[in-house]
Amino acid sequence: MEIKDFLVVPDCSVLEAMRQINRNAKGIVYVCEEERLIGTVTDGDIRRYILKNGELKDPVIKAANRGTRTLSEKEKSRAGEAMKRYKISSIPILDKDRRIKEICFEEERVCQKKEALDVPVAIMAGGKGTRLYPYTQILPKPLIPIGDKTITEHIIERFMEYGCSRFDMIVNYKKNFIKSYFLDNDNPIDINFIEETEFLGTGGGLKLLEGRYPSTFFMSNCDILIEEDYGEILRFHREQKNVITMVCALKQIEIPYGTVEVTDEGKALRLREKPQISFITNTGLYVLEPEFLDEIPGQTFIHITDVIQNCIDKGKNVGVYPIPEEHWLDMGQVDELKRMQKALEKRL
């Protein structure tokens, strides 16, 4: 990659900086004004900025860290030592005018093994998947193939990369199909099945896990894939002492029409051509504490979002871990299913 792939200007939006970080895959961009370095922005800086109610359309300089560690061209040989000392994964080499001439990366971190979390994972797989008709009239949603594996196998494999080996799957619709597939002798994944006797929703179904987990656990819907550092998500959850943390995607949508703002008297106030709106949306991946299950009524149909709102109303710690939109794949609808298939094909 070239140096320009790591540079943004101060008035670049937070959203565009986030996309640049996603493109360069190094977790950082450098903010430069007239080619001179004035700060850095990491994916963590953006996450913290958003959590402080910063806007995606804001200039990225608002989220920047101006205390950037740098080296002169004469000091380049000390790059490895400096990165180790300051616990950073990259350091820019500047000329006398503070222009970036080179960026040194601690490449061995790329090959570093993922952290072993050893945290249980609950997968919600009991719904009918009506948004995926006619596919789910034949196959239950957890067994929909994405490439040469089912969506559920993709989900489980991502957790297994982080040392998670205990999986509980809540099943209902076409449950015998699901159980037969995973209990096949050729399938190495060890899963415990918890059966719903009636449809209870993502909240009511979760109640069936009460008493199974002594501490923190993950919960995932069976139609999503999240490309993020699960260790960082877990660490954030524990540091914030949350009862539940929602992994949420930062989305931006362009309205395909010109919009008109109107006064109370019916006069045109402002016209905007194809405006863009930004928002944070729930992906369906959570980190929970066992006490969250105490907030769910027994044998009652209830969505997990309603339980979360009850926790918020009671003043309990409910966290949000924001991720780029590109790191969330959702196959909840037919169009999204096709997008997920294409995205995974590119990564193989």
Domain 121-347 has CATH 1.20.1050.10: no
Ramachandran region of residue 248, left (φ > 0), alpha (ψ -120 to 50) or beta? beta
How far, in Å, CA of 27 to CA of 35, rounded?
20
Reported as a pLDDT band with limits 50, 70 and 90, residue 109 is: very low
Domain boundaries, the chain: 3-111, 121-347
Kindly give the residue spans of alpha helices, DSSP state H, lying in 88-183. 135-138, 151-160, 175-183
How far, in Å, CA of 325 to CA of 282, rounded?
11
324: which residues sit within 8 A by CB, 6+ positions away? 18, 19, 21, 22, 43, 249, 250
pLDDT reading at 36 higher than 80: yes
- pLDDT score recorded for residue 237: 96
pLDDT reading at 34 higher than 60: yes
- pLDDT score recorded for residue 149: 87
Contacts 24+ apart (CB under 8 A), 78-85: 79/104, 80/104, 80/106
134: which residues sit within 8 A by CB, 6+ positions away? none
How far, in Å, CA of 166 to CA of 11, rounded?
46
- pLDDT score recorded for residue 347: 56
pLDDT reading at 265 higher than 60: yes
Instruction: Identify the weakest region by mean pLDDT among 92-106, 161-175, 178-192.
Output: 178-192
Give the highest mean pLDDT range of 108-122, 248-262, 265-279, 311-325: 311-325
- pLDDT score recorded for residue 185: 58
pLDDT reading at 112 higher than 60: no
- pLDDT score recorded for residue 108: 47
pLDDT reading at 241 higher than 60: yes
How far, in Å, CA of 254 to CA of 348, rounded?
30
Q: For the residues 231-254, what does the mean pLDDT come to?
A: 92
How far, in Å, CA of 221 to CA of 294, rounded?
20
pLDDT reading at 283 higher than 60: yes
Reported as a pLDDT band with limits 50, 70 and 90, residue 115 is: confident
- Letter for the amino acid at 150? T
Q: Indicate the helix (H) or strand (E) that contains 279.
A: strand 276-288
Q: For the residues 147-176, what does the mean pLDDT come to?
A: 92
Q: For the residues 162-176, what does the mean pLDDT come to?
A: 93
pLDDT tens, position by position, 315-327 = 999 999 999 888 8
The owner of tokens 């950082």 is 28
Regarding predicted confidence, which is higher, 343 or 164? 164
CATH entry, 3-111, from 3.40.50.300, 3.30.70.980, 3.40.30.10, 3.10.580.10: 3.10.580.10
pLDDT reading at 107 higher than 70: no
Instruction: Identify the weakest region by mean pLDDT among 87-96, 102-111, 249-258.
Output: 102-111
- pLDDT score recorded for residue 110: 44
Reported as a pLDDT band with limits 50, 70 and 90, residue 131 is: confident
Kindly report the average pLDDT of the chain as a whole number.
Answer: 88
Identical fold between 3-111 and 121-347: no
How far, in Å, CA of 66 to CA of 230, rounded?
28
pLDDT reading at 229 higher than 50: yes
